[in-house]
Amino acid sequence: MDFGSATLSALFVMLIVFTVLVLLWVAVRIFSAIILGFEKRGSAKRAAGNGGK
């Protein structure tokens, strides 16, 4: 394997690593937002319930 091909291979591997981790970043942001939203709603409902008593 010559140096040019090796450079392309190395760049390709780094590209895949970055792509997978960026996708994970996006996925974590989305599920965190959903879970935090649910938890906020739940605590707001509980607070409203306690106020009613």
Partner 1 sequence: MFGDALTELLKTSGFATMTWQSAVMILISIVLLYLAIHKKYEPLLLVPIAFGVLLTNMPMGELIHMDFFKGEHIELANVLHGMDLEEGAPIGGLFDILYLGVKLGVYPCLIFMGVGAMTDFGPLIARPSSLIMGAGAQFGIATAFLIAISLGFTPDEASSIGIIGGADGPTAIFLTSRMAPHLLAPIAIAAYSYMALIPLIQPPIMKLMTTKKERVIEMKQLRPVSQLEKICFAVIVTLLCILLLPSVSSLIGMLMLGNIFRECGVVARLSDTVQNALINIVTIFLGLTVGATAIGENFLAPQTIKIIVLGLVAFMFSTVGGLIIGKVMCVLSGGKINPLIGSAGVSAVPMAARVSQVVGQKANPRNYLLMHAMGPNVAGVIGSAVAAGTLMSLGATLFASF
Contacting residues toward partner 1, per CB under 8 A: 1-3, 5-14, 16-18, 20-25, 27-29, 31-32, 35-36, 39
Task: Kindly tell me which of 37 and 47 has the beta carbon lying closer to partner 1.
Answer: 37
Tokens of 48: 């409203």
Tokens of 13: 């591997």
Task: Kindly tell me which of 24 and 44 has the beta carbon lying closer to partner 1.
Answer: 24
**Alpha-carbon span 47 to 37, nearest angstrom:** 15
Task: Kindly tell me which of 4 and 53 has the beta carbon lying closer to partner 1.
Answer: 4
Task: Give backbone dihedrals phi and psi of 2, rounded to 5 degrees, phi first.
Answer: -85, 170
